[in-house]
Every structure is written in C-alpha cells, then in structure tokens.
Structure 1
C-alpha cells in the first residue's frame, strides 16, 4: 500500500516525503538511546543529501553526519553484503570523537569486555540482559552475518518473509550486543537494510525507528522478553510486525502531506517570500491540517524567525494578502493558517 501511494504521488513530491521520514528516523533512533540531536543540523544535512532545492541552513554536527552516513549506507547500498567492516564503520561513525558522552569507548571494533543492558541509578541497577562473553562475539557475529547474507531475496537460497527476516535480524543483533556502545542504532540500521533488500530499492519510507521511539518502553520490554525466553520468538515477531504496520500508516500520512505541500507550492510558485516567511509557511505545512496548535500568531512568528514584532506583523499581513494564509480572529486573537481546504478551524 505504502509503495503504491509513493508511486501515485510521483517523483516531484517523493523527495519531500523521504526527507521528512529520514529526518524523523534519525532523530528517533538517537532519541531511543537518550541522545537529542540538533534538529536544524539534521534537516539541513538530509536536504543536502537528497539534493533538495534551497536546503534549510543548519550547523554542521559530526555526530549527525556520522549517524546519517551509517543510515544512508545501510539503505542505499542494500545490495552489498553486510560485513564486519561495514558494521565497524557504522558504529565508528556514531562516535567520531571516540567518546560516548564523557566516557572513552572502543570504536570500529568489537567489545573486549562484559556488557549488560541495565537501568536504574548507579549502584542499584536492574540487569535486563547479559550479552554473550566477549570471547564469543567474533564467532557469533560471523554466524549472524552468514545467515543475513544468505537469507535475503537476492540470495540463491530459500528465504523468509522480508519483514519477518528484518525482525529476526534486529533481535539477533541486539542479543549479541557486539559493541561497547551504539548497538541499538546499528541494529536499527540493519532493519533498514533488510527492508531495502526486501523491496529491492533504497527509498526510505518506512519509519520504524520513529515508531519504536513512540513505543520505547514497550520496545525494550519486548526485546527483553524475547532474549530471556526460549527459542520461540513468535511474540517478538508479532509485536515487530504490528509496529511496522503503525509505522507504515504514519508514513502514508506523511506522503499525503507531502503531496499537499507539493500542490501548495505549485499553486504559489510565482510569489516571492523572504526566508522568514518561507520558514513560517513550512512550519505550518509540516504540522499538517490544524496541527499547529492555535495557529500562527505575531508572537509565535517572532519566536520562530527572530524578527521584530513590526516585521512579524508586516510579514503575516503580506502572506494573508498573497492568499498563502487565511486569517481568523481579531486584535491579539488574530491567527493565521495555511490557505488550503480544512487546514484552518471552522469559525
């Protein structure tokens, strides 16, 4: 369904949808691990990578670039074998300084010490899972890689359903926990690669990390349950598939929004906007129909674009005169909305 919708909206709108999904996936996979990325840095880098016109400005972050490099390699080079070297490069890209927060870690190589998944305050941690001993990691990873590289649709051997295979691959890798840090992000990149292999294309439309971030506690609980049980992982796969369905539903909404945005900018192709005006319009478009709580006000415009109240009032008035915005309320209650059917609340 999702791929059919992507084909239906056409190439002109697809990059915008892919941009939105990729940005949200990068932010989400880091957020799951408790890391907050600079959103402007992510948006700017993703737009450049997709070759979008007028990419938004943003700071350059080595951590953001490294994460996006790993994600891009996983999905764009899906036809290439997954190897130790690729896993090393992805994990090293996540930690360009060799540090995880203030702790120096081993990067670009397997761990050489005990590791466990724990939570709780220091000294009173709860151990959720203990990974295999370090001396077994290399052999266990090689077994995993051999399976992964011979179980895809491209391999000349019987293969499982692509979604089931992605769920198995993620659980297997997380169970091995081969790195000192970065296992979750690398494991979710493996999901991306498995899904790209299944559909045989690099288009990033499946927002699985975004969904897992939303259901983070449940995600960890289901992983722990599968890792501590017997070899029956049916419950994990059922959960994984259900989350993938939710992710596809959200991606379908993003595709619909991208098509509406493309139509909007086609309608207003002849107008000239300042950077501040364009930023405000895009924020409302990104929020979707009635998604920007309370509409755009002069105060919100000032906060968003860093212009003076006088400039904000003038800019908003101009956007309304151009037919880009519609207006509701009066005086201090004046609000501005995208001028598209059902995007503004009914009076």
Structure 2
C-alpha cells in the first residue's frame, strides 16, 4: 500500500478554513475592554476642554502619524514638508515646502479618517497606493501603481545578504489577489447589524483582523504596510463614527516596530485563530491612547505658554527661537541652546544674542545649565525632561528647592513655577 503525504500549511492563507479569521472573545475581552477605557479617558478629556475642534491638536497628531507610518517602512519624510502638507490639507496655509511623497501620505490618512462613511473598494485602494508613489517608482525602481500586483514571482518578505536570505513571509500568488481582495472588501463593508440581529464585532478587534487580513494578502507590489495602517485608521474612525481621532496607532507601532513585525509574522504563520494578534493589537491601542493624552497635554501647555505676559513682550528674534524650542519638543535642541545657535537662527550679533537670552532667562521663559562656554539654555516647560550629564544630575538640589537661574558653579538652574503646568 502506498502512503500519501500531506504537506503541512506554512502560512495562514494556506489553511483550509482561510480566510475565516477568528479570536477568542473570553481571552481577548479584558484587553479589549482596557483599550476602550483608555480611548474613553482620552475622549473625555478632549470633550471637557473642547479639543475635538482644536486645529492645533489635530495638526500635531496628523503630522506625527504621517511621519511615523512612513518611518516604519524606513522612509524619512521631511517634518517641514509634512507640516506644510497637513496645513494645506486642513486649510490653514498654502505656504511652506512641498513634497509629493508627504502630500500623498497625508492625503491617504486624511481620506481614510475624513471619509470613513464611504465604502472601501478596489478603486479606493488603488488610488491610495498611487498617491504613495508619484511617478510610479519606489526609489528608482519602477513598480506597478494603481493596481494590484501581477508578477509571477512569489511576493516574499526577506532579509539577509544575497544567497543567505531569510524568508519571513510569502504572500498568496498574484493570480489569487483580486479574488481574495474581493472577499476581504465584502467582509469589511458589511453593514452595521440592526436591532435584533447578532451584535457587531468589537471595533478594535475588527481593526486588528482587517489589518492582519490585508497584510496577509499583501496585494500591492509596494506600499502594503502604509495602506494597511490606513485601513486601521478607517476601521477605527468607523468604530467611533466620527472623522476625528485623537490617538494615532502608527506612532505606537513605530515605537514597538520589532514587536509589531514579530506579532504580525507569528499570526501569518499560525492558524486562523488570531487571538494572540488581537490581544497584542489591543494593547497597542491602549498605549497609543495614553501617548496621545500626553500629546494633548503638550499642545495645551504650548498654547498656554504664549498667553503669559512675558511671552507678549518678546521681540521677533526671541519669538522665533522660543517657537523653535517648542516645536522641537521635550528637551529642545540636542545639547541645549547656546549663544552660537541663537545667532545662527536669528542672524543677531553676539551682544544682541547674549542680551536676548539674558532677558528670556530673567523673564522665566528659559533656564540655564553650566557656565562660560558650556552655558546652555532650556525652555521652561514644566514636565519636559532634559538629558544632562550624570555629574550634573548628582548636583541637583532636593525636590522643591529652586536656586537662582544661572547659578555659578555649574549647577542646574531648575525651572521655576512661573508658568502653568501642562497637566
């Protein structure tokens, strides 16, 4: 008698029950509930202080999401180009540098969130992918743009040197892509259940499964990661039934980039039971909500910074430098601001720069560390940490003690409580 051999499926799409992705609600439930609580806290804070309509918050979050989703794929977008692109998209300004790649990424994110009530179809996905690759190239390589991949070669994710490549994942053949995407889109566009029908799937779990499903098909020659995260944006906006989201998942996924790839790869190698992936994804949503809460606090603190009497008295040079410090975020310039950097930014003479900086310290807007050529200036923003040498940290006075700013001896001039807290 001849024994028949059966090859064990290597990838989830080779499983006989694909694409019936499932998850264990009892196991994932507590983590999903926590994610919803974190979202609720953020939304409650936003509603209490009217942040839903605060353009500065929306602008900041959209800029960070745009930069992060590209950075996950190793693409560096100019922050200035992204900022001007977001401002144009929000109708705030038409000035600033333009970059077609930044414009395309911003357009995709904006369409996913703002047009959440529109169906997701093949054409919409094709237009998203076209926007990411103006000119039809990825780098200098020509790729298929505005359509699904059609090449006969396997679509693989590999790493390692030529001849010693490691295949991390292999997607379904190109000949299957259109059919598989048609099934995916039919699932994604299912209407919300009516009264008396089975309850809808948890919104966070739905976004998790949608991302896994799309990334598993890997329908495009390039851009799958960025489009897959835009699908998450769309799914979460649909979950909230609102075009505005105050948390961004791409920033969190960038921070956990290795874990993101590992969790996704594990789900693509396993069975159609995606419980572990849903749990990991929900944990990231909770962390993203917490991080966005801190971003909201920072944006509010920046706004309050400019309402102080000291801020109103600044000259144009000082305003330019202070705004740059605010834009650079926690800690300001790498290595701190000094007189030479001030001169370079403003074109002021050395005596003018020294006088401007001294006035900013006297007004309580900057604080200092070091002396002589090592004197550095930092923005007096409560809660913003600054990386200082270990020897300086050992010399810090007890909490609550506030020596005069610029005190001799190289000690740290702690920021006074002259400005309102961002909390």
Relative to the length of structure 1, the TM-score reads: 0.89
What's 2:139 paired with?
101
2:106 is aligned, of 68, 92, 115, to: 68
What's 1:216 paired with?
257
SS in structure 2 at match of 1:35: coil
What's 1:334 paired with?
375
CA RMSD of aligned residues (A): 2.7
Q: Is the 8 A contact 2:306 2:312 kept in 1?
A: no
SS in structure 2 at match of 1:337: strand
* CA gap 1:72/1:289 in 2 versus in 1, 3 angstroms: closer
What's 1:26 paired with?
66
Q: Distance in 2 between matches of 1:35 and 1:289?
A: 24
What's 2:21 paired with?
none
- Tell me by how many angstroms 1:332 deviates: 2.7
What's 1:191 paired with?
232
2:45 corresponds to 1:5: yes
Q: Distance in 1 between matches of 2:198 and 2:98?
A: 44
Q: Distance in 1 between matches of 2:262 and 2:194?
A: 33
Segments of 4+ in structure 1 off by > 6 A?
Answer: 153-157
1:187-227 Cα distance to aligned partner (Å, 9 max, x none): 00000011111111122322211111111111111111100
What's 2:34 paired with?
none
Q: Distance in 2 between matches of 1:64 and 1:82?
A: 22
2:286 is aligned, of 245, 248, 271, to: 245
Relative to the length of structure 2, the TM-score reads: 0.74
What's 2:149 paired with?
111
Q: Distance in 2 between matches of 1:337 and 1:175?
A: 47
Q: Distance in 1 between matches of 2:186 and 2:331?
A: 49
Q: Distance in 1 between matches of 2:134 and 2:117?
A: 26
Q: Distance in 1 between matches of 2:169 and 2:383?
A: 49
2:178 corresponds to 1:138: yes
Please list every run of 5 or more consecutive structure 1 residues that lacks an aligned counterpart in the other structure: none
SS in structure 2 at match of 1:266: coil
Q: Which has the higher helix share?
A: 1
- Tell me by how many angstroms 1:43 deviates: 1.4
Tell me which structure has the larger Cα radius of gyration. Answer: 2
Equivalent positions of 1:73-84 (< 5 A) are: 73-84=111-122
Tell which deviates more after alignment, 335-344 or 228-237. Answer: 335-344
* CA gap 1:324/1:346 in 2 versus in 1, 3 angstroms: closer
Tell which deviates more after alignment, 314-323 or 250-259. Answer: 314-323
* CA gap 1:110/1:39 in 2 versus in 1, 3 angstroms: same
- Tell me by how many angstroms 1:21 deviates: 1.5
- Tell me by how many angstroms 1:23 deviates: 1.1
- Tell me by how many angstroms 1:257 deviates: 0.8
Q: Is the 8 A contact 1:5 1:255 kept in 2?
A: no
2:209 is aligned, of 149, 165, 168, to: 168
Please list every run of 5 or more consecutive structure 2 residues that lacks an aligned counterpart in the other structure: 1-40, 386-411, 415-423
Q: Is the 8 A contact 2:46 2:52 kept in 1?
A: no
